Amino acid sequence: MTHLRLDRVTAYYGHLQALQELSLGVDQGEILAVIGANGAGKSTLLSLISGEQAPREGRVFFDDIDITSLAPHQRVRKGIALVPEGRHLFGTLSVEDNLRSGASTRRRGTWDLDAVYELFPFIAARRKHRAAVLSGGEQQAVAIGRALMSNPSLLLLDEVSLGLAPVIIRDLYAALQRITAEGTTLLVVEQNITEALAAANYAICLLEGRVVLEGKPDTLSQRAISQAYFGHDLGPSSKAAS
């Protein structure tokens, strides 16, 4: 069943057209990786799904219900949670209050404080600390935990690995696998292609607001990806030069 469906959405980033008649479907339980260079339209795509931006044209459906006009907090109630790029924690609040604030919708499900602390044991020890004093990896874990507290059926992740050490990225992605084991659908936006493709069971590559490549990650060749990513064939000679 199609969990999330975008039907020919067009959206602008300022005056620039960020997405052009883009259509997209995500099935329940799927892990979809959205890759693409800076400015390809990835963040705009997420903002259309989270409700922070409305499309100029087109509709957004969630479980076949039109949610195009719903505000972000209403979409969280329906089961869509976004972990925003840069984490956007409540820096003056304790780790535990950050997590609790994610539960404000009172959606029922498997995720509560104990479950999040079990998923990320290293933040349990810091539950009384202000979120602002945490390390980048800890903050990212809190941000994911806060989103989980709303018991989402669709979890959107924007640049989870940005600025983090490889070992921490590996831990976070391991946690994502456990989250999907609970039946949660994942949409991962990344510039870190390797991690995203390894985790995903379907991938799309955006270029200038359009889907230029899609398929199961293991069927996509490196060359096809780099061509889609940069918009032109780098060719054997330039490859050798780099």
Minimum CB–partner distance for residue 242 and another protein (Å)? 38
Residue selected from 1, 38, 92, 241 as contacting another protein according to rule CB under 8 A? 92
Residue type, 63: D
- CA-CA distance, 152 to 107, in Å (whole number)? 8
Residue selected from 100, 127, 129, 170 as contacting another protein according to rule CB under 8 A? 100
Residue selected from 50, 139, 153, 227 as contacting another protein according to rule CB under 8 A? 50
Verify binding: residue 76, another protein, rule CB under 8 A. yes
Verify binding: residue 82, another protein, rule CB under 8 A. yes
Verify binding: residue 26, another protein, rule CB under 8 A. no
Secondary structure letter of residue 117 according to DSSP: H
Q: Would you say 8 or 77 has its CB closer to another protein?
A: 77
Write the burial class of residue 219 (CB in 10 Å: 0-12 exposed, 13-18 middle, 19+ buried). Answer: exposed
Query: For residues 191 and 162, is the Cβ–Cβ distance under 8 A?
Result: yes
- CA-CA distance, 121 to 123, in Å (whole number)? 6
- CA-CA distance, 178 to 155, in Å (whole number)? 13
| Span interacting with another protein, options 2-10, 76-84, 202-210, 233-241, rule CB under 8 A | 76-84
Strands in 65-66's sheet, in edge-to-edge order, are 16-27, 2-13, 57-62, 65-66
Minimum CB–partner distance for residue 214 and another protein (Å)? 27
CA neighbor of 125 nearest in space, from 143, 112, 138: 138
| Span interacting with another protein, options 56-64, 72-80, 212-220, 225-233, rule CB under 8 A | 72-80
Verify binding: residue 235, another protein, rule CB under 8 A. no
Q: Which residues bind another protein (CB under 8 A)?
A: 50, 52, 71-73, 76-77, 81-82, 84, 88-93, 97, 100-102, 104-105, 132, 146-147, 150
